[in-house]
Amino acid sequence: MDIRAHEERLPRRAAASYHNVNDQERKVSLLAGAGSLIFALRRGGLFGLAVGALGGLLGYRGATGHCPVFARLGKSTARPSDQGLFGTAPLHITTGVTIGREPQELYQFWRGFTRLPTFMKFITEVRPSGEQRTHWVAESPLGGKLEWESEVIEDVPNERIAWRATEDSKIAHSGEIRFRSAPAGRGTEVELDLHYEVPGGNLGKAWKGFVKSMTEQAIREDLRRFKRLMETREIPTNAVTSIASRQRGPQ
Amino acid sequence: MKAVCWHGKEDVRVDSVPDPEIVNQGDALVKVTATAICGSDLHLYNGYVPGMHSGDVLGHEFMGEVVEVGSSVKNLQRGDRVVVPFALACGNCFFCQRELWSLCDNSNPNAAMAEKLWGHSPSGLFGYSHLLGGYAGGQAEFVRVPYADVGPLKVPEGFSDEQVLFLTDIFPTGYQAAEYCNIQPGDTIAVWGCGPVGQFALASARMLGAERLIAIDDVTERLELAVQQSDAEPLRPSEVGNTLQMVETLRDMTQGRGPDACIDAVGMEAHGMGLEGWYDTVKQSIRMETERPIALRQAIIACRKGGTVSIPGVYGGFGDKIPLGSMMNKALTLKTGQTHIHHYLKPLLERIENGDLDPRFVITHRMHLDEAPDAYRLFCDKREGCIKVVLRPDGRI
């Protein structure tokens, strides 16, 4: 199954209950709020204070997508197509590595996902949470913890595994790993496709390029550690003590 | 423990650092009995190798006694006396299986850094910058040695430390450089740089049947050693002149043919004569080029048509004015790389055992590990006839 076929079904944006203002209105609110605040500061006095308070409310509404007045009234203009102020952007990464082991051995190690944290830098835990389902815990590169549920959508023994974050997950993500014999006994060509919806789609090319290159680099390093673990049964480290090694995590 | 640490350009100190431990189960801990300063350590000392951090433990030529092994180590046990190759090799990857040990795919934890500069990463090395792994080196009391089943060679009874210490680097490095020359009967081999690697390249070329050896250097005692040990013909660049004159001199010395193979045992810090010397010194100092590849230029232009240029000398980045036209039109073969030490350990130990070569001939100084800062200074300035320094953590000389 092609990865692009199932990403259509990915939730476009994290569903947040407090979100009750649509994107268009948020932008207008933000602009109006900023204008009111500037006016208030220049005008001063009691009238200025009143306008300033209104500006603050508008700004809050625009910045967060949550309107306390709407909430009180039980009203919402939010639309399913909302992407937030900064939007989201699809991020595709395809990378690969050649590993001097048989496809079967690599497939076995990858399958079940629970052993992935040994070589994946930002994944701290993967545990089974149901038939074909796993619960993932990651350390966000920006700090904090991310958790989501993932389900296997395709599993061809010794060849490929495809998965995606479930619809109610806070992140939109899917992936596929393929194992194929390399020519002339050179082991296995491992190819990894990953898809994410990353925040900041409206922030321009430079931001998207930055996110892509950072993510790509992290994924390549994960695959390199996978190769090393499979070929040598250990992940190389220059740490001189085991404490230093643990503090650093997978290098 | 005590260790020789790098703190910046021309600043090495003996510091107290944490004792190493077994980290991965394939590791061994080695108590160092003898270690040496390599000519390539001077590139670090002079600040030309990127990726050095203050406090890095130096040293990649060392041997000692195994004091602890990880649970998966099968070939070594406590008390074994070992020499340790300077390149770390996992023994399992594509490259290790083809005996290209110094190209090991798995031993450099910082491979991504090296890939940015070189496209691909070679193996990790002990004590040789974070670009090549950031492993703590062997100029120390103890060393953590990963892949202990793959690298270390157990030293049989009857050899002294000094007899086998140079198996860790300079003997195999000089030997590989000579072997790369594919020496045929009647061949003349010219060697640029008569430091320790140059000396071993000359001695090895002699063992491999070279007819004539030409030793190129400006340091009197090094030329004398080349003459005495390897029966080489000395040639002083300062007396010959610039690159063109060097090429003409070598052509004249070989009746028009040029040396059949040329070995550049100098690397990135060659000293040029006249304008060319100034050109590279200025460009390197303002970081417009990372190398001063004068020896390499001369080796290429001087080499006989269809001959081989073998480069054990260390380069790190980008050099200027490499005579590609000469290389292409004369159909030269270039052979280079960090040495695949593991491949040479046993054969060269046999050479030592048979008496073909006693590696001790290069040693000029024996010092305590505590004296390392002085030893670096001495070696860098080539003072007091310094060619090779052996350091001992226990001070036994």
- At A93-118, the pLDDT tens digits run 999 999 999 999 999 999 989 999 99
Length of chain B: 397
Residues 137-156 in B contacting A (C-alpha not used; CB under 8 Å)? 144, 146-147
State percent of chain A over pLDDT 70. 90
Residue A196 pLDDT exceeds 70: yes
Band (pLDDT 50/70/90 cuts) for residue B212 is: very high
State percent of chain B over pLDDT 90. 91
Q: Is A46 helix (H, G, I), strand (E, B) or coil?
A: helix
Pairing of strands B389-392, B365-368: parallel
**Chain B positions in Cβ-Cβ contact with residue A227 (cut-off 8 Å):** 105-106
CA–CA distance, A126 with A147 (Å, rounded to integer): 10
The answer to whether the predicted template modeling score (pTM) of the entire model surpasses 0.90 is no
Predicted local distance difference test score (pLDDT) of residue B57: 98
What would the 3-class secondary structure string for chain B be?
Answer: CEEEEEEECCEEEEEECCCCCCCCCCCEEEEEEEEECCHHHHHHHCCCCCCCCCCEECCCEEEEEEEEECCCCCCCCCCCEEEECCECCCCCCHHHHCCCHHHCCCCCCCHHHHHHHHCCCCCCEECCCHHHCCECCCCECEEEECCCCCCCEECCCCCCHHHHHHHHCHHHHHHHHHHCCCCCCCCEEEEECCCHHHHHHHHHHHHCCCCEEEEECCCHHHHHHHHHHHCCEEECHHHHCCHHHHHHHHHHHCCCCCCCEEEECCCCECCCCHHHHHHHHHHHHCCCCCCECHHHHHHHHHCCCCCEEEECCCCCCCCCCCCHHHHHHCCCEEEECCCCHHHHHHHHHHHHHHCCCCHHHHCCEEEEHHHHHHHHHHHHHCHHHCCCEEEECCCCC
Q: For residue B142, what is the nearest residue in chain A, using CA coordinates?
A: A240
Question: At B219, which amino acid appears?
Answer: V
Contact of A234 with chain B, judged by CB distance below 8 Å, is answered with yes
What is the enclosing helix (H) or strand (E) of A97? strand A88-99
Q: What angle do CA A8, A10, A12 make, to 5 degrees?
A: 100
Contact of B105 with chain A, judged by CB distance below 8 Å, is answered with yes
Question: At A172, which amino acid appears?
Answer: A
Predicted local distance difference test score (pLDDT) of residue B106: 98
Measured over the CA atoms of residue A241, residue A243, residue A247 and residue A251, the dihedral's sign is positive
* Highest mean pLDDT pick, A120-124, A198-202, B64-68: B64-68
What are residue A173's DSSP bridge partners? A196
CA distance B148 to chain A (A): 12
Q: What angle do CA A98, A4, A82 make, to 5 degrees?
A: 130
CA distance A244 to chain B (A): 9
What is the rounded average pLDDT for all residues in chain A?
86
Residue A15 pLDDT exceeds 80: no
Greatest alpha-carbon span in chain B: 62
Predicted local distance difference test score (pLDDT) of residue A110: 94
What does the block give as tokens for A195? Answer: 């898809």
Predicted local distance difference test score (pLDDT) of residue A102: 97
**Chain B positions in Cβ-Cβ contact with residue A236 (cut-off 8 Å):** 24, 88, 90, 106-109, 124, 133, 146
Contact of A250 with chain B, judged by CB distance below 8 Å, is answered with no
Residue B142 pLDDT exceeds 90: yes
- Please give the radius of gyration of chain B, using alpha carbons only, rounded to the nearest integer: 20
| pLDDT tens sequence across B255-314 | 999 999 999 999 988 888 878 888 888 888 877 777 889 999 999 999 999 999 999 999
What mean pLDDT is predicted for residues A186-193? 97
**Chain A positions in Cβ-Cβ contact with residue B20 (cut-off 8 Å):** 240-241
Measured over the CA atoms of residue B21, residue B24, residue B25 and residue B26, the dihedral's sign is negative
Band (pLDDT 50/70/90 cuts) for residue B397 is: low
Predicted local distance difference test score (pLDDT) of residue A247: 67
**Best of A240, A247, A248 to mutate (most B CBs within 10 Å, chain B):** A240
Contact of B55 with chain A, judged by CB distance below 8 Å, is answered with no
Contact of B106 with chain A, judged by CB distance below 8 Å, is answered with yes
What mean pLDDT is predicted for residues A73-85? 78
Q: For residue A186, what is the nearest residue in chain B, using CA coordinates?
A: B94
* Highest mean pLDDT pick, A74-78, A139-143, B160-164: B160-164
Q: Is A220 helix (H, G, I), strand (E, B) or coil?
A: helix
Under 8 Å between Cβ of A46 and A53: no
Residue A242 pLDDT exceeds 90: no
Which stretches within chain A are classed as H helix?
A: 3-7, 23-43, 45-64, 68-73, 103-110, 205-232, 242-248
Residue A118 DSSP label: G
What mean pLDDT is predicted for residues B329-342? 98
Contact of B108 with chain A, judged by CB distance below 8 Å, is answered with yes
Q: For residue A244, what is the nearest residue in chain B, using CA coordinates?
A: B23
Cross-chain residue pair A242–B22, CB shorter than 8 Å: yes
Predicted local distance difference test score (pLDDT) of residue B218: 96
Residue A16 pLDDT exceeds 60: no
CA distance A83 to chain B (A): 35
**Chain B positions in Cβ-Cβ contact with residue A241 (cut-off 8 Å):** 18-21, 23
Pairing of strands B142-145, A133-139: unpaired
| pLDDT tens sequence across B346-374 | 999 999 999 999 999 999 999 999 999 99
Under 8 Å between Cβ of B178 and B201: yes
What does the block give as tokens for B54? Answer: 């203050």
**Chain B positions in Cβ-Cβ contact with residue A187 (cut-off 8 Å):** 94
Band (pLDDT 50/70/90 cuts) for residue A250 is: low
Model ipTM value: 0.91
| pLDDT tens sequence across B166-198 | 999 999 999 999 999 999 999 999 999 999 999
Question: At B389, which amino acid appears?
Answer: V
Least confident of A50-59, A186-195, B84-93, B232-241: A50-59
CA–CA distance, A13 with B313 (Å, rounded to integer): 57
Least confident of A31-45, A64-78, A121-135, B169-183: A64-78
Contact of B25 with chain A, judged by CB distance below 8 Å, is answered with yes
Residue B252 pLDDT exceeds 60: yes
Cross-chain residue pair A238–B134, CB shorter than 8 Å: yes
